[in-house]
Amino acid sequence: MTQTHAPTDLPGLDATYSRTATVPGRGLDAGIERHWHYLDNGDALAAAGIEPEGTILAVHGNPTWSYMWRSLVAASVTAAQAGGRAWRVVAVDQLEMGFSERTSLRRTLRQRVDDLTAFTAAVPLTGPVITLGHDWGGVVSLGWATEHTTDLAATMLLNTAVHHDDGTPIPAPLRLAGARGMLGAGSVNTTAFLDVTLALASPPLDRDVRDAYRAPYLSAERRRGIGAFVADIPVGPSHESFSELTRIADGIRDLGLPTLMLWGPKDPIFSDRYLNDLMTRMPQADVHRFEGAGHLIAEDAPYAATVLSWLDALGSSTTEAAPATAFEPLWSRLDARADDDSVAVVEMGADGTNRRVSWRQLDDRVRRLAEGLHRHGVRRGDRVSLLVPPGATLTAVVYACLRIGAVVVVADAGLGAKGLGRAIRGAWPRFVIGDLRGLTAARVLRWPGERISTRSLPRASAAALGVSTSLGDLIRGTSGAALPPEPEASDPAAILFTSGSTGPAKGALYTHAQLSGIRDALVKQFNLTSESGLVTGFAPFALLGPALGARSATPDMDVSAPRTLTARAVAAAVTESDADIVFLSPAAVLNVVATADELSPAARTHLESVRIFLSTGAPISEALLQDAARLMPNAEPHVVYGMTECLLVSDITLDGVHGAALAPDSGVCVGRPVAGVSVRVSALDAHGHATGEPLDTPGVLGEVVVSAPHLKQRYDRLWRTDEASTRDVPAGRWHRTGDVGHLDADGQLWIEGRLPHVIVTADGPLAPVGTEQQVEAVDAVRRAAIVGIGPEGNRQCVAVIETVPGARHAGVAEPDVTRAVRAAASVPLVAVLVLPELPTDIRHNSKIDRVALSVWADGILSGQKMRTP
């Protein structure tokens, strides 16, 4: 037996939490006493007179030790002392690991579960138990959980795995570590395995923290457990621990208890593949993926605060399920026109060759695709990523998937390769349907999902891309067989990804009822009928044409770059589809107006048939809206305010925009809420935080909070983000938008910026948009952003502008421009800086990145050489 005591000066660890216990062994250790080291905050709670509600039993993996749980051990005491729910935390060092005993026995997975059972029998736990595990400690903790269900209240996991698909290699780092000749050299005789694991932290660990993790493993003798843990990884059915891993993997399906999974997507060992497997076994789990975090998620992300928040939320949800309502499936109006030979979808070709699809053809294609997909194995609840440009094919695939209950994953190319990859890996689809470009990206970037091509490919190409079949092959095998039962209103239907303009793109999960709610809101607000024709350069609404029973066309453009849309392309789409409604993003409107001189007299005549023009995605100026109105003189221009989480919130016409321009309010008026939508404002406190109760009081600056039948169900695999978006809201389903604004006396909503862009000055919080509008009224200014520099609570305002004509270089604005801008602004400006172009998000090309501008401006004014943002 070898054992040493844990050092008393490790960073972040209060030595008073360190404990040792002598434990009668079980299994192979029957009749032998083993010596354990563990962390326990129970005495600290008792000293404060606090009775814990239960115990968190935390189990580390390989090659870490209980030190990894130090922040949770301390945070749970601090939270309890502040009046929160109290939880005792007991974090063990598994035998052979940390500062627990080294033995001469090889400890299999079964033995480690017995070890943990022996420990909990000898060190009684307070109240109900909640297990928490990471890496192979996650498996051990789940093994204990399946055998102690009467004591168990919930389970929590950080990156781990309980199953590995046959035919898929185990992760490369584990293959290398366990390879013959490498196991001893890399795991025991040297510190290589330990060093590589610690190097996975992002950002890198401080040296003293790295040394703390190394402290129990300073000699080869003390590292034998690291090698033994690697050797015990079940690589196949013949491995002695395979049967126990299988028992655990099957057993957790029956637990049915609240479960939390916190994940680091950058983990090269336990990737999202294993998260997806765990979710199929524990579908009740709440999941949060910390984008940017990796294997050492306990070091990379605020896991402790999330764990305690989740435990606080157990049994005290602030939201309610939406009341049951009449539900008309999204495909019902397509079904109703199954015998209609009139045009349903027009696909505009770059070469002028346009494809027209009738309602009869579209309905037939949807039904046959639905049958083919189901026969191929696509089932209700399966996620299907769509890497297909807008058009007839995408439309048919979407409705076929929805009809059989598959969940469509829509993340458009405007996110860029990196953002698109994050989105797809985050959703972890079972299938990917794509064109050649999409499937090539999926192959090169190793996106998950069985691949189905939109067109038949040569055998060599299909093999190179990993394509299993094509839509044509699926259709050729159909026989008109009955489709599976329709999905329910509450079933998941789609995951729509946000723009990622204020952080990594988030997947908003919609049910079938909520998707249909978007359709119903559009129909009611804009009086859409089966005779309507819709031209849209905004992808989410392009797919709603069949649901609306309206003809639809997507103009010839690069959907990933809205600024590529021209006036001629819009006119051509209006002509081909006989459209009376045009729906565009603000960036698209800008270029359509800029290319209006290219229109022929005939094209201008066709645009006169448009009766409604809609812009959504970001507010646009009155001048730009007027320019668009001149192109479509018989159309009523509307600006729709919404977001991916709730695509329609409010609506305002050009007349309303003009009237708002004369009002004394600050910001951009986005009109009144559409039917069925409620809007409230959560007031900002002195620190710029939205802490006020959401109310409809006029004139209060705060975060905009919305409720609607078509509001998303939740964020996908982002529990922490979802909780933040529903924090302190009224009863029912509400969403904190992250937008800052106010309501006026007439019930109109004004948007004044985003929460991260609020500038907390010595006089209190300032939203930027109102001042930006004042600056943009200066003749020399094309666009402006107001950002803050300096210390929090005493930020100073800086104007960063684009000029007319455009500046060639970044720097301080000309003196005359500076004087004019300062005179126009209602707040003091410490500087006026100029850029050739303000940075915007890549999806809409319209949302200014004020955070990047703030960092740049602060650096420039501090005398640093800063790269243009």
> Domain with 444 in it: what CATH number?
3.40.50.12780
pLDDT digits (tens, 9 = 90+) for 19-36: 999 999 999 999 999 999
Residue 172 is predicted with a pLDDT of: 56
pLDDT digits (tens, 9 = 90+) for 172-214: 565 454 545 445 556 899 999 999 999 999 999 999 999 999 9
Q: Kindly indicate the confidence band of residue 319, based on its pLDDT and cuts at 50, 70 and 90.
A: very low
Position 217 in a domain: no
CB burial of 409-418 (b: ≥16 within 10 Å; e: otherwise) equals bbbbbbbeee
Q: What is the mean pLDDT of the chain?
A: 90
Select from 754, 763, 758, 710 the least CA-distant residue to 736. Answer: 754
pLDDT digits (tens, 9 = 90+) for 227-247: 999 889 887 888 999 999 999
Residues 619, 683 within the same domain: no
> Domain with 730 in it: what CATH number?
2.30.38.10
Whether the predicted pLDDT of 660 surpasses 90: no
pLDDT digits (tens, 9 = 90+) for 536-563: 877 667 778 899 888 899 888 876 666 7
Q: Which of 164-178, 585-599, 657-671 is the least confident region? A: 164-178
Residue 780 is predicted with a pLDDT of: 92
Whether the predicted pLDDT of 42 surpasses 80: yes
Residues 473, 579 within the same domain: yes
Position 206 in a domain: no
Residues 634, 783 within the same domain: no
Whether the predicted pLDDT of 844 surpasses 50: no
Residue 589 is predicted with a pLDDT of: 87
Q: Which of 208-217, 230-239, 499-508, 686-695 is the least confident region? A: 499-508
Residue 731 is predicted with a pLDDT of: 83
Q: Give the number of C-alpha atoms closer than 13 A to the C-alpha of residue 775, restricted to the C-beta side.
A: 33
Domain count, the chain: 4
Q: Which of 8-22, 276-290, 316-330, 666-680 is the least confident region? A: 316-330
pLDDT greater at residue 340 or residue 318: 340
Residues 602, 540 within the same domain: yes
Residue 678 is predicted with a pLDDT of: 97
> From the CB of residue 789, how many other CB atoms can be counted at a distance below 10 Å?
20
DSSP 200-264: T-SSPPPHHHHHHHHGGGSSTGGGHHHHHHHHTS--STTSTTHHHHHHHHHHGGGT-S-EEEEE-
pLDDT digits (tens, 9 = 90+) for 581-609: 998 888 788 889 989 999 999 999 999 99
Q: What is the mean pLDDT of residues 518-546?
A: 84
What is the percent of the chain with per-residue pLDDT over 70, rounded to a whole number?
93
Select from 354, 382, 399 the least CA-distant residue to 574. Answer: 354
Q: Which of 191-195, 246-250, 353-357 is the least confident region? A: 353-357
Strand partners, 23: 34
CA distance 462 to 273: 23
Residue 353 is predicted with a pLDDT of: 82
CA distance 641 to 672: 10
Residues 459, 597 within the same domain: yes
Residue 588 is predicted with a pLDDT of: 84
Residues 283, 395 within the same domain: no
Q: Kindly indicate the confidence band of residue 841, based on its pLDDT and cuts at 50, 70 and 90.
A: low
Residue 450 is predicted with a pLDDT of: 96
> Domain with 120 in it: what CATH number?
3.40.50.1820
What is the percent of the chain with per-residue pLDDT over 90, rounded to a whole number?
72
Residues 693, 774 within the same domain: no
Residue 536 is predicted with a pLDDT of: 85
For residue 293, what are its two tokens? 């975090």
Whose tokens are 């002695």? That residue is 240
Question: What is the DSSP-derived secondary structure letter of residue 6?
Answer: P
Whether the predicted pLDDT of 171 surpasses 80: no
Whether the predicted pLDDT of 788 surpasses 50: yes
Position 737 in a domain: yes
Whether the predicted pLDDT of 415 surpasses 70: yes
Position 119 in a domain: yes
Residues 417, 504 within the same domain: yes
Q: Which of 114-128, 264-278, 438-452, 559-573 is the least confident region? A: 559-573
pLDDT winner (highest mean) among 508-522, 542-556, 839-853: 508-522
Residue 864 is predicted with a pLDDT of: 81
pLDDT digits (tens, 9 = 90+) for 698-749: 999 999 999 999 999 999 999 999 999 999 998 889 999 999 999 999 999 9
pLDDT digits (tens, 9 = 90+) for 60-77: 999 999 999 999 999 999
> Domain with 818 in it: what CATH number?
3.30.300.30
CA distance 623 to 593: 11
Residues 671, 562 within the same domain: no
Q: What is the mean pLDDT of residues 115-124?
A: 97
Position 651 in a domain: no
Residue 502 is predicted with a pLDDT of: 65
CA distance 248 to 139: 8
pLDDT digits (tens, 9 = 90+) for 257-304: 999 999 999 999 999 999 999 999 999 999 999 999 999 999 999 999
Residues 434, 341 within the same domain: yes
Residues 696, 633 within the same domain: no
- Domain holding 23, by residue range, is 15-168+235-313
Q: Which residue, of 644, 673, 697, is where some domain finishes?
A: 644
Q: Which residue, of 616, 644, 672, is where some domain finishes?
A: 644
Residues 747, 767 within the same domain: no
Q: Which of 2-16, 426-440, 797-811 is the least confident region? A: 2-16
Q: Which residue, of 612, 644, 676, is where some domain finishes?
A: 644
Q: Kindly indicate the confidence band of residue 101, based on its pLDDT and cuts at 50, 70 and 90.
A: very high
Residue 839 is predicted with a pLDDT of: 84
Position 398 in a domain: yes
Q: Is 580 exposed, middle or buried (0-12, 13-18, 19+ CB in 10 A)?
A: buried
Position 493 in a domain: yes
Position 854 in a domain: yes
Q: Which of 496-500, 603-607, 798-802 is the least confident region? A: 496-500
